[in-house]
């Protein structure tokens, strides 16, 4: 954790009884209640509380380098006098708040003496600057488990959209100073930080992962069953279906999520005849050829025939994805056996398979594992199909062609399909390459 002081003194001129502070908290509370009523996706933890009947004040700030003195790791003496009720920066660049007994305040979320800002002192007594902190106690001393962010001055971010230090992930800090985690939430009124630049406004909805990073560039289904697309700025919008407007003879699209453990798992959409097939999906393979070893990739399997050499494997766009995330996939085929694959409504590749030309094809959802013991969970949501030019919103019936006895499947009234289980029954040395016909859960979709 970076807790070092960046040569920035604390601003200490505000007062506890600042009327703007009261207005901010009342406004935040009103909007929190309003949006929670409309869409119950908001963190319930309350990290901050308003301090009452305390006047903001100025306290000294000393540094060992500039002021000299003696620091023994617990007490700071200046001119042989114990320093109390002051901020102090040691020779390593760490800043402490020295309490009335002279010892550093530790493991504490507290108001800055200015009465306005909130700061955090970690278990070593170091004030946190420009970094995240996992706060375990509220200002009132109640047990919490909140992730918070503190800026270059050490002040806690409030109602702020921000990137991590590497600039790779977005985070939303709600009006209570808590980084949203583990679910859907609503961006609140007055949001600052990167919100304006990224086009995020109050009332927009987002989804935060378990680590607090916002889900972006992927599809998800919200608790109301809506198919949503999380844009690059973390804002969820209704994900459009493009199957009706895409020129092709037949197609299948779905929001696909792959998870599993072991050496390999695969979730895929399939268009096939009795002898040929094209599949398109998400595959994790710990034993894949370099540079794909141990990665989860977007993948096609073009099966001209089941004979040796009759299969062509490709990773269109060399796009790496993540297990547990949802992606919108679509696979199409034309009358001549050519077709295309789409990721999040963007075409990323094409193929040709003469074995699919000029005949009726079947549409399937499939999940598989690589070897005995490998587990797979694959979910196909918001399935839509085009069959001989006619678009269907969801399957009406299913044929179960599962080939591995320990992979089960289920489907709901909305046409969403889930496969779950593990691979069993293979002999030593067998895997999904040499026993491809025995490693899958398969549902054929009927209309």
- Which residue ranges does the chain devote to CATH 2.60.120.200? 250-446
- Which residue ranges does the chain devote to CATH 2.10.270.10? 19-200
DSSP 175: T
Q: Are strands 81-82 and 76-78 parallel, antiparallel or unpaired?
A: antiparallel
Angle at 242 between CA 239 and CA 248, to 5 degrees: 160
DSSP 178: P
Give the number of residues written for the chain. 447
The CATH architecture annotation of domain 19-200 reads Ribbon (2.10)
Q: What distances in angstroms separate CA 363 from CA 335, 386, 403, one per listed residue?
A: 15, 9, 17
Cα–Cα distance measured from residue 103 to residue 409, given in angstroms and rounded to the nearest whole number:
61
Asked if residues 376 and 394 have their Cβ atoms less than 8 Å apart, the reply is no
Q: Report domain 250-446's class.
A: mainly beta
Low-confidence ranges of the chain (pLDDT < 50): 1-54
Q: Terminus-to-terminus CA distance in the chain, angstroms?
A: 56
What is the token pair recorded at 363?
């549409």
Tell me, what's the pLDDT at 55?
A: 57
Of 162, 171, 176, which is closest to residue 212 (Cα–Cα)? 171
Cα–Cα distance measured from residue 253 to residue 242, given in angstroms and rounded to the nearest whole number:
9
What is the token pair recorded at 251?
């197609």
Q: What is the pLDDT of residues 327-371, one digit of tens each?
A: 999 999 999 999 999 998 889 999 999 999 999 999 999 999 999
Residue 369: what are its φ and ψ, rounded to 5°?
Answer: -125, 165
Contacts for 395 with CB less than 8 Å, ≥ 6 apart:
383, 385, 411, 415, 445, 446, 447
Of 411, 378, 407, 418, which is closest to residue 394 (Cα–Cα)? 411
């Amino acid at each position: 954790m970076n807790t070092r002081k960046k040569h920035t003194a604390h601003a200490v001129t505000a007062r506890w009884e600042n009327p703007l502070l009261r207005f901010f908290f009342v406004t935040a509370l009103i909007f929190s209640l309003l949006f929670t009523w409309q869409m119950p996706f908001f963190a319930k933890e309350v990290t901050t509380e308003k301090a009452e009947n305390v006047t903001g004040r100025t306290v000294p700030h000393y540094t060992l380098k500039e002021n000299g003195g003696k620091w023994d790791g617990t007490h700071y003496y200046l001119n042989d006098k114990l320093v109390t009720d002051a901020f102090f920066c040691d020779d390593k660049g760490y800043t402490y708040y020295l309490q009335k007994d002279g010892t550093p305040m530790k493991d504490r979320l507290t108001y800055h003496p200015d009465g306005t800002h909130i700061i955090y002192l970690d278990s070593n007594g170091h004030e946190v600057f420009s970094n995240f902190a996992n706060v375990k106690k509220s200002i009132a001393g109640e047990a919490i488990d909140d992730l918070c962010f503190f800026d270059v001055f050490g002040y806690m971010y409030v109602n702020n959209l921000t990137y991590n230090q590497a600039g790779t992930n977005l985070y939303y800090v709600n009006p209570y100073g808590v980084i949203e985690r583990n679910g859907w939430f609503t961006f609140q009124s007055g949001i600052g930080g990167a919100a304006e630049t990224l086009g995020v406004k109050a009332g927009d909805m987002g989804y935060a992962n378990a680590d607090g990073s916002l889900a972006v560039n992927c599809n998800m289904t919200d608790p109301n069953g809506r198919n949503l697309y999380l844009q690059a700025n973390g804002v969820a919008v209704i994900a459009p279906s493009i199957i009706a407007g895409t020129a092709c003879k037949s197609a299948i699209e779905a929001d696909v999520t792959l998870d599993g453990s072991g050496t390999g798992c695969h979730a895929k959409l399939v268009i096939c005849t009795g002898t040929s097939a094209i599949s398109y999906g998400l595959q994790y393979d710990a034993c894949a050829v370099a540079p794909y070893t141990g990665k989860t990739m977007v993948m096609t399997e073009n099966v001209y025939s089941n004979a040796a050499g009759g299969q062509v494997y490709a990773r269109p766009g060399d796009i790496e994805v993540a297990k547990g995330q949802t992606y919108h996939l679509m696979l199409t085929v034309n009358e001549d056996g050519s077709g295309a694959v789409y990721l999040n409504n963007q075409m990323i590749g094409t193929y040709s398979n003469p074995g699919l030309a000029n005949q009726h094809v079947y549409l399937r959802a499939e999940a598989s594992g690589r070897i005995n013991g490998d587990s797979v969970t694959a979910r196909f949501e918001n399935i839509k199909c085009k069959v001989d030019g006619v678009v269907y919103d969801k399957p009406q019936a299913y044929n179960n062609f599962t080939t591995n006895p320990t992979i089960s499947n289920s489907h709901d009234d909305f046409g969403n399909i889930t496969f779950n289980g593990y691979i069993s029954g293979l002999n030593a040395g067998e895997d999904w390459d040499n026993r491809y016909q025995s490693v899958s859960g398969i549902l054929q979709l009927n209309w």
